[in-house]
Structure 1
Amino acid sequence: MGSTRLPSMTEVLAVMVGFIAIMFVSINVLGLPIQLALFASWFLVMALGVRLKISYESMQSGLINGIHNGMEAVLVLTTVGALIGTWIAGGIVPSIIYYGLSVMNPQIFLFAAFIICALTSLSTGTSFGTAGTAGVAMMGIGHSFGIPLPLVAGAVISGAYVGDKMSPLSDTTVMTASLCKVNLIDHIRSMSLVSAPAILIASVLFIVVGFFYISGSVDTSRTTIAMQALESHFTISLWLLLPAVIVIGLLTRRFPAIPVITFGAVLGSICAWMAQGVSPVEAIRIAYVGNAMQSNVEFLNTLLNRGGIESMLGVVALILFALGLGGLMERVGILKAISNGFLRWANNPGRLTISTMLGGFFGNFFGGAAYVSLITASTITEKNYDDQGVDRRVLSRNAEAGGTITTPMVPWTDGGVFMATTLGVSTLGYLPFLWYHMLVIAISIFYGYANIAIWRTTENIEPNPSSSERGIQAN
């Protein structure tokens, strides 16, 4: 059935070193996809399982169970792919970008870039899609303003991860809620207590810094060109923002995510047909293959060739391999061994918060993807939350802070590679300017030690003496 003992920390360390070697050689030396590196890592963990005399059947069961636990995220991701494709073809995403550009002011450009990317990511649920569309536009405009590109990239990525972390359309948001067994909207509400002040402070920082780099008289022709290009290829209208309002409204009212997002994709197809002149059959087909058209404007070519279920298949494979790896680590006992180490140290909400974040960073560093980090952050520390009577809404919030948020901070993760490649700035170049990310981490740790928004469950058997009674009772 399983191991007669947990792996020693020496054995765990050996597996982790091997994992780093596989990831580094596969991605940086051989240039292989991260999916293959994760797949190869399965057998590294299995080798430890064989040493611990765990049967292959038991390990396979753990692998399949790990994949099964995350299948909701896979299903949501496929519907999100359809939604992004149809929302671009229907002019919904272009309208969001257009109206964002229309209020652009050079001296508050960094703030505007942060907010535009935040709104785009909240409406699409994808940091990658945001960076590849609105983010690319912001990089070009920022370059024309003479602002250092690492600083612009910091504003873009900060905004892009607001939605990746907070949007009910985001696969990582849905996956974290599922892994932590927390209602999706409750998870978002919990995160908002940290994200709201982080967004506010980051906004102030981007406004202040913007005045140091931008004079009052700069050439805004790049913005004009972008807006004219959008108008030439799309019908732009405030009415086209309505599908985004409807979808987010339905999700906020706790309607199931998959049918709501699918409904949003249908609305996108209708908009493509009725507002953009796309044939009905093509408008439906775009939901699978994504939107594709060519123009003489590089910005539009980047913007338009996006979305579709087909575009998500590589990410789906990544999720499956990552989930399988997490299931294997759970079955072999790696996560339990690490959790026991944290259990002895994390004896108050502050340390509990840090241990969850370290678990998330651990997953990004060794797993190379947000999906792995969310598994490690939640699985390694979930029992500690239950034992201390801390509500799992705190677990899910901290898992996102340590997992999703740290993904673009590691050069070899999928997020780090994508952002550096898409925006043309190295990970270490933009890292000092990820102010939203740093604020989320800092505020989360502060909340833990100050016992702010640390809700308690009724099953708190052994309340920790260092935890005050200021925690709010869970509903």
Structure 2
Amino acid sequence: MGNHEERQIRKPNLLEVSVVLILFLAIAFSFTGMFDLSIQLALFIALFIVILLGLRLGYKYNELQDALKDGISSGLDAVLILVAVGALIGTWIAGGIVPSIIYYGLEFIHPNVFLLATLILCAVTSLATGTSWGTAGTAGIAMVGVGEGLGIPLPMVVGAVLSGAYFGDKLSPLSDSTVLTASMAKVDIIEHIRSLLYVSVPAFVISGAAFTIVGFTYAADHVDLNRVESIMTAMGSTFNIGWWMLIPAVVVIVLLAMKKPAVPTISFGALLGVIWAVLFQNTDFIAALNTAYEGFSIESGHAFMDELLNRGGITGMLGSIVVILLGLGFGGLLNHIGALQAIVDAFANFIKNTGRLSVSTLLTGFFSNVFGCAMYVSLILTPKIMEKNYDRLNVDRRVLSRNTEVGGTLTSGMVPWSDNGIFMVAMFGVPTLQYVPYMWLSFAAIILVVIYGYTNKFIWYVEEESSEV
């Protein structure tokens, strides 16, 4: 580009950015809440609103389209995982793997402790595998099935699943998002995880206690054991149930725990589902293979079981994939024209102590999810935007990486159009705003970060050699 062209490009001011973002939020909420239109259409329109702002700032259309494509390419890993998980769910239902897990869950897990058991199982699975998405698509799907069988409200179950999945993901050195956050904040991965323990462990205990209390209160009044027996009978008459049905799930979890790549591992799990469907469910090979693409479909005469199990397949993920692609492009455009940076710069004078520093980091992480539409956008942008403020106050980068995880990762599932929000809705069929009130681990972690910031607890400074971590 020539000098003349460069001089024409300017940074957006706060008013311009605010107008664009308010328009986006107005379109998103009115489309989904008032007019029953898709979020995909809202995001598609939002792309052109940001492009119009970019043209006003002096960018050429080709430059903005390149930024859009760069944003999309940065998140294609998530799209591939979504495709693989869709295939896996379809074949695991056809192969009797998910039905067997649900059957044994209904048989052995007492309704009173079901929510706590869900939290712990998903935490252990996520800690071992390093993936909240993989946990949601395997253990999460099964536990939602068990919870639905017990008559426990699905938003509550999904909240327990996500609390466990995000807890394990954040403390696992196998997690790509944890590694990314540590590297972006320039912190050793183990030091990053150790600093997170001060937030994650108390938040886990708090959410565990809450799910236990609710479990005992709710199950005592609402669980219909006759309904549970009816579902188990229907499962047993429709599928061959046995412990060997759990082998593909164990294989996938072990491979992920061995840090094997997620996409081929999950795809291999889908192949095992096809094989199990042929060997143990007497399904034709072509029909079993087709469940990887079309999903599983059955008309058993048991309405509840049909509704529970008719899901999965790559086609079931196409709407989510479109949202993620458009969302990533939207985030790429906003980042390219400096929209998020303009907001942070406007509030730079506000950050005068560690309390305000912590709150600002949480808000930056959250709004990077809202306007960047992807957790990875948040985890990349938040450290880049906030690092100068931490250095200015001499606060150790471990605090930056910890706060970035809480503000970025733990809030991503709360945004209906973020990659995590879209993925979880695709997995469980529960609208984002219905399960958000039960993401108790996330809320507990956010509150703890704010308390630590304003009380100066577990805040480390670069001048000190703290023995606490």
Q: Where in structure 2 are the equivalents of 1:64-463 lying within 5 Å?
A: 64-112=69-117, 114=119, 125=134, 127=136, 134-135=143-144, 137-139=146-148, 141-142=150-151, 149=153, 153-163=155-165, 166=168, 193=197, 194-215=199-220, 219-341=224-346, 345=350, 353-363=358-368, 365=370, 371=374, 374-376=376-378, 378-385=380-387, 388=390, 398-399=403-404, 401-406=406-411, 409=414, 415=421, 427=433, 432-445=437-450, 452=458
> Shift of residue 405 of structure 1?
3.6
**261-270 or 443-452: bigger deviation:** 443-452
TM-score by length of 2: 0.78
- Output the CA distance in 1 between the equivalents of 2:284 and 2:123: 32
> Shift of residue 293 of structure 1?
1.3
Q: How many residues align?
A: 447
2:359 and 2:450 in contact (8 A); partners too: yes
Structure 2 regions of 5+ residues with no counterpart?
Answer: none
**430-439 or 92-101: bigger deviation:** 430-439
Query: Is 1:19 equivalent to 2:19 in the alignment?
Result: no
- Output the CA distance in 2 between the equivalents of 1:191 and 1:262: 34
3-state SS, counterpart of residue 125 of structure 1: helix
1:159 is aligned with what amino acid?
V
- What is the CA deviation profile of residues 133-173 of structure 1, one whole-angstrom value per residue up to 9, with x for unaligned ones? 64365245236xxxxx5xx63343232453367569xxxx7
Inter-CA distance 270–34: structure 2 relative to 1 (3 Å threshold) = same
- What is the CA deviation profile of residues 404-448 of structure 1, one whole-angstrom value per residue up to 9, with x for unaligned ones? 5435656787949986997889947x6554423322323455666
1:93 and 1:120 in contact (8 A); partners too: no
1:92 and 1:241 in contact (8 A); partners too: yes
3-state SS, counterpart of residue 70 of structure 2: helix
2:362 and 2:403 in contact (8 A); partners too: yes
**431-440 or 414-423: bigger deviation:** 414-423
Root-mean-square deviation (Å)? 4.2
In structure 2, the residue matched to 1:457 is: none
In structure 1, the residue matched to 2:49 is: 44
Structure 1 regions of 5+ residues with no counterpart?
Answer: 144-148, 455-462
- Output the CA distance in 1 between the equivalents of 2:427 and 2:331: 27
2:361 and 2:404 in contact (8 A); partners too: yes
- Output the CA distance in 1 between the equivalents of 2:50 and 2:205: 43
> Shift of residue 77 of structure 1?
1.6
Inter-CA distance 378–417: structure 2 relative to 1 (3 Å threshold) = closer
Inter-CA distance 392–163: structure 2 relative to 1 (3 Å threshold) = farther
- Output the CA distance in 1 between the equivalents of 2:167 and 2:86: 17
- Output the CA distance in 1 between the equivalents of 2:87 and 2:191: 24
- Output the CA distance in 2 between the equivalents of 1:364 and 1:109: 31
- Output the CA distance in 2 between the equivalents of 1:297 and 1:435: 34
Inter-CA distance 451–20: structure 2 relative to 1 (3 Å threshold) = same
- What is the CA deviation profile of residues 248-297 of structure 1, one whole-angstrom value per residue up to 9, with x for unaligned ones? 22222222222212211111211111122212222222212111112222
3-state SS, counterpart of residue 277 of structure 1: coil
Query: Is 1:57 equivalent to 2:62 in the alignment?
Result: yes
- What is the CA deviation profile of residues 348-373 of structure 1, one whole-angstrom value per residue up to 9, with x for unaligned ones? 77655533431343245557x5x2x5
2:323 is aligned with what amino acid?
L
3-state SS, counterpart of residue 212 of structure 2: helix
- Output the CA distance in 1 between the equivalents of 2:281 and 2:426: 33
- Output the CA distance in 2 between the equivalents of 1:274 and 1:394: 52
- Output the CA distance in 1 between the equivalents of 2:321 and 2:262: 17
